[in-house]
Amino acid sequence: MKLTVTTKPLEQISADALIVIHEAGGMLASSANKSLHSHFDSFKRSVERKKSTSEWFCTLERDSGVKTEHLLLESSSFDDRAPHDEPLKMAAARAAADCRNYSLKRLAVGVHHPFAAGKAAAILEGILLGDFNDQRFRNKKTRTNRPQLDLVFTTTKENEKEVRQALERTRAVCEAQNHARELVHTPHHILTPAKLAETAAELAARHGMEAEILDEKELRRQGYEITWQVGRGSEYPPRMAIIRYRPKKPAIRQHIALVGKGITFDSGGLSIKGVATMPWMNYDMGGAAAALGSIEALARTNYPGPVTAILCCAHNAVDGAAYHPGSILTAKNGDTIWVESTDAEGRLVLTDGLHRAGEEGAQVVIDYATLTGAVVSALGPQIGALFTDDEELASLFLHAGETCGDDLWRLPLVREYEQHLSHYLADLSNKASLKTGAGIHAANFLKNFVPAKVRWAHLDIAGPANTKSGYRYFSKGATGYGVRLTLEAMRLLAEGDWPQKEARRAKW
Ligand code: BES
Ligand code: ZN
Ligand code: ZN
């Protein structure tokens, strides 16, 4: 995609279509021709009258002063139940989809709003996320020809610099998010644990980061026995990928680790899944994709502090050597774990990732995991679950979630439930004896493996990592949930402007 910013009047840009979204403004020079002005005016009046979603697509006469054939006027819905800039992003995605339908690719977008940078960023985000269309697995006949979009944003002189910066940042974040979406779509026989780790290493090299990959032998040698156990029933052996981003002049000393569940396919193992859920389980590395997409975006936007991404990659499959229900495993911290279910594998590999985060010297750990069906039942398909005992981290992420489009809800780490993870032979069971509340038990389980003095938040993204029907500007499939959330949280952290006072101590 090509992206330019200019201060030329909208009507003087030569493009295939002029896009004006009512809420973001878009001005014409007073010299612009009359017919263009009258289109603008009647559209504005109609939007104001209807107070509802409205769009207008028309072909302009080629008369003096207008270099474009098409004018696309959009208004976002006035639905104030939708968070923040989401309606604007949706309108932008609709506008881009309309342009695709008419095979228009050079689009000029007018942004003349008092908060032009924020509005421009939302529009670009809607276009980039909405225009994502993964055709890698189609043949030549069913593929549609999609030329790169060529976007020109026009704004005022005063806003130009800020708009440019905001657009560059948005582009980096959305491209990283779309990379994460592609990874999630890639089937397990192509994106094996080795391939996922290799992809992470290539990405690291591209963006000046350091990568270390532990293969199955090294995992065992270093005591990451659990990841090896979870992956041992597969032809495709497990990996741990460690990516280190270290800015040259760090303004933030706090070292953050992003730990991702990277189960490239979850058959359930011997506690095998049913025919309804199993085909979805390519997406079980959505946590690793979120961690990798986040570190890519942080590197590309020059985040000013040290970050380490740790991807726990394994293929949960079945053969004679596969780990069994009834196995007793020893975690790297010395705790023994009774395997009640081989389908509760995510929390197992994460014990290694959390431990490694401590060894890497992280002071804050965020983990991302498509961990339980229970949180999908609780919060539905669009909302991620946040678990943490750290009130500042809770406030930071909830605040980020309110504005970025990755919606989030906090669930409690109920201490009284910890007893249900006990076992008569081992230190812990990987599945609680209590049938209900599985998302909480999984989080309680992880809490045991957070290194001492490390601040920790757990994101169960089993719902929003993937959408079966599509919503807002997301088409069916992977959403890249977590990338925007992390970037927004880290931006608030870097700028020190999140309202810490809002945090309330959890009752439990
Ligand atoms: N990858 C699944 C989580 C999942 C299941 C996501 C269904 C979306 C839909 C995870 O590994 C899993 O199987 N979790 C079990 C845990 C249980 C055995 C304690 C679950 O949620 O059923
Ligand atoms: Zn599972
Ligand atoms: Zn899983």
User: What are the φ and ψ backbone dihedral angles of 467, each rounded to 5 degrees?
Assistant: -125, 130
Catalytic residue among 100, 273, 455, 472: 273
**Closest ligand 1 atom to Cα of 463:** 8
- For residue 462 and ligand 1, the question of a CB distance below 6 A is answered with yes
Q: Is residue 20 within a helix (H) or strand (E), and if so which, with residue range?
A: strand 17-21
Q: What local confidence, expressed as pLDDT, does residue 83 receive?
A: 53
Between residues 505 and 311, the one the model is more confident about = 311
CB 310, CB 366: distance < 8 Å: no
- For residue 346 and ligand 1, the question of a CB distance below 6 A is answered with yes
Between residues 12 and 502, the one the model is more confident about = 12
CB 311, CB 369: distance < 8 Å: no
Among the bound ligands, name the one nearest to the CA of residue 462. Answer: 1
Mean pLDDT of 26-53: 74
- For residue 373 and ligand 1, the question of a CB distance below 6 A is answered with yes
Q: What local confidence, expressed as pLDDT, does residue 64 receive?
A: 45
Q: Measuring from atom 14 of ligand 1, which residue has the nearest CA?
A: 372
Provide the 3-class DSSP secondary structure of residue 17. Answer: strand
Residue linked to tokens 């923040």: 84
> How remote is the CA of residue 342 from the centroid of ligand 2, in Å?
7
Q: CB-based contacts of 503: which residues, under 8 Å, 6+ apart?
A: 391, 392, 394, 395
Indicate the average pLDDT of the chain.
92
Q: Measuring from atom 8 of ligand 1, which residue has the nearest CA?
A: 373
> How remote is the CA of residue 193 from the centroid of ligand 3, in Å?
14
Closest CA to 425 of 336, 330, 354, 323: 336
pLDDT tier for residue 24 given thresholds of 50, 70 and 90: confident
CA–CA distance, 121 with 223 (Å, rounded to integer): 45
> How remote is the CA of residue 485 from the centroid of ligand 2, in Å?
25
Cβ atoms < 10 Å from Cβ of 189: 13
Among the bound ligands, name the one nearest to the CA of residue 375. Answer: 1
| Position 398 pLDDT exceeds 50 | yes
Closest CA to 432 of 498, 372, 350: 372
**Per-residue tokens: 173:** 């974040």
The yes-or-no answer on residue 505 being catalytic is: no
> How remote is the CA of residue 347 from the centroid of ligand 2, in Å?
9
Mean pLDDT of 167-195: 98
> How remote is the CA of residue 31 from the centroid of ligand 3, in Å?
61
Q: Measuring from atom 18 of ligand 1, which residue has the nearest CA?
A: 344
> How remote is the CA of residue 300 from the centroid of ligand 3, in Å?
30
The yes-or-no answer on residue 136 being catalytic is: no
**What are the pLDDT digits (tens) for 205-221?**
999 999 999 999 999 99
Among the bound ligands, name the one nearest to the CA of residue 430. Answer: 1
Residue type, 115: F
- For residue 374 and ligand 1, the question of a CB distance below 6 A is answered with yes
The DSSP code sequence of 169-213 is HHHHHHHHHHHHHHHHHS-TTTS-HHHHHHHHHHHHHHTT-EEEE
Between residues 488 and 77, the one the model is more confident about = 488
**What are the pLDDT digits (tens) for 113-155?**
888 999 999 999 999 999 999 999 999 999 999 999 999 999 9
**What are the pLDDT digits (tens) for 412-457?**
999 999 999 999 999 999 999 999 999 999 999 999 999 999 999 9
> How remote is the CA of residue 188 from the centroid of ligand 3, in Å?
13
Best substitution site from 339, 372, 379 to test ligand 1's pocket, by max atoms within 8 Å of Cβ? 372
- For residue 99 and ligand 1, the question of a CB distance below 6 A is answered with no
- For residue 381 and ligand 1, the question of a CB distance below 6 A is answered with no
How close are the terminal C-alpha atoms of the chain, in Å?
A: 49
Catalytic residue among 239, 347, 356, 431: 347
Per-state percent for the chain, helix, strand, coil, to nearest 5:
40, 20, 40
- Strand ranges of the sheet holding 256-266, from the earlier edge strand across to the other edge: 210-214, 239-245, 307-316, 256-266, 364-369, 455-460, 384-387, 408-410
Q: What local confidence, expressed as pLDDT, does residue 51 receive?
A: 58
- For residue 461 and ligand 1, the question of a CB distance below 6 A is answered with no
- For residue 18 and ligand 1, the question of a CB distance below 6 A is answered with no
Cβ atoms < 10 Å from Cβ of 309: 31
- For residue 376 and ligand 1, the question of a CB distance below 6 A is answered with yes
- For residue 261 and ligand 1, the question of a CB distance below 6 A is answered with no
